[in-house]
């Protein structure tokens, strides 16, 4: 790369850009990072306010993964966005970011099998597409790292309730002052686990074919975009990341189908994690440009 080209690209990073209905001050974004700084009621604390205030000069902050419901938790002190107290606390965060001229989306998630019964109401089993335990650990205060619990397979009749949890969480995020949301469809969490043939062994309308395995994610995206507008909704995907024991035998056709169907819903962005987070980009060969051509 020549010096002039490099200077041009660097200058372009600092130019404003339109993202849906908002304008970003520059073309840099902060990816979502789990901080585990909520209190025991999963309410963001003053430390969370200051953390995001300090980073508000970036064009777009995508705030940390946040539970859509009581059953969505998988880690200690990760925030929620389903109680009035949580919503009110997030409003102090968004006010702080906006006061600095920043824009902020909230990543909404359900951890699925990446959880432990300790975090579930009445110590129940976490939920997943199939009753297959993750070869992974989570952290519990006072106990340290523990193996994730064996999940139970979601009944098909339960899936609409979780779709609705995402819809309500998106509405709550807007109520809390966020400029939009990012649906977490990556890294072995519930929606991603439904996508992958290594974690989804179902034989109903949510398992088997690529179309069936993608159904849950697409239903969530349809509900969320209908609730708050597609121009305020992004989604995160990680086609070949093995994080959290996420296994897929043939990711290229799967994720090309997913992106093709997402395009019909017109999300404001698709956030693709290339390769292995914390590891090599080419851990599994994958044509990322093929996804770009579809969206």
Q: Which residue pairs, CB below 8 angstroms and at least 24 apart, start in 167-170?
A: 167/220, 167/223, 167/224, 167/226, 167/227, 168/68, 168/82, 169/66, 169/68, 169/69, 169/81, 169/82, 169/108, 170/108, 170/224, 170/227, 170/228, 170/233
Closest CA to 137 of 122, 118, 123, 159: 118
221's tokens: 């995206």
231/153 Cα distance (integer angstroms): 33
137's tokens: 């650990």
* CB neighbour list of residue 157: distance below 8 Å, 6 or more residues apart: none
Write down how long the chain is: 295
Active site residues: 189
Closest CA to 233 of 3, 20, 79, 18: 20
117/9 Cα distance (integer angstroms): 49
């Amino acid at each position: 790369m020549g010096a002039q080209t490099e200077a041009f690209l660097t200058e372009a990073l600092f130019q404003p850009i339109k993202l849906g209905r908002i304008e970003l001050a520059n073309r840099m974004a902060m990816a979502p990072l789990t901080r585990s700084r909520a209190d025991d009621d999963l309410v963001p604390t003053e430390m969370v306010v200051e953390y995001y205030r300090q980073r508000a000069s970036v064009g777009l902050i995508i705030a940390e993964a946040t539970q859509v419901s009581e059953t969505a938790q998988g880690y200690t002190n990760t925030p929620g966005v389903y109680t009035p107290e949580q919503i009110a606390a997030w409003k102090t965060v968004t006010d702080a970011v906006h006061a600095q001229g920043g824009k902020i989306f909230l990543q909404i998630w359900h951890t699925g099998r990446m959880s432990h019964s300790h975090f579930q109401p009445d110590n129940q089993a976490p939920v997943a597409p199939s009753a297959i335990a993750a070869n992974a650990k989570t952290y519990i205060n006072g106990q340290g790292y523990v193996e994730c619990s064996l999940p139970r397979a979601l009944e098909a009749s339960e899936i609409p309730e979780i779709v609705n949890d995402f819809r309500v969480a998106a509405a709550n995020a807007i109520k809390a002052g966020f400029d939009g949301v990012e649906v977490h469809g990556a890294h072995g969490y519930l929606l991603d686990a439904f996508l992958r043939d290594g974690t989804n062994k179902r034989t109903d309308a949510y398992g088997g074919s690529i179309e069936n395995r993608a159904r849950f994610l697409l239903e969530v995206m349809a509900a969320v975009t209908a609730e708050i507008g597609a121009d305020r909704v992004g989604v995160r995907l990680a086609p070949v990341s093995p994080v959290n024991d996420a296994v897929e035998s043939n990711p290229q056709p799967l994720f090309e189908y997913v992106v093709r169907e997402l395009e019909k819903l017109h999300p404001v962005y698709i956030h693709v994690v290339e390769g292995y987070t914390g590891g090599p980009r080419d851990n599994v060969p994958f044509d990322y440009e093929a996804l770009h051509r579809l969206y």
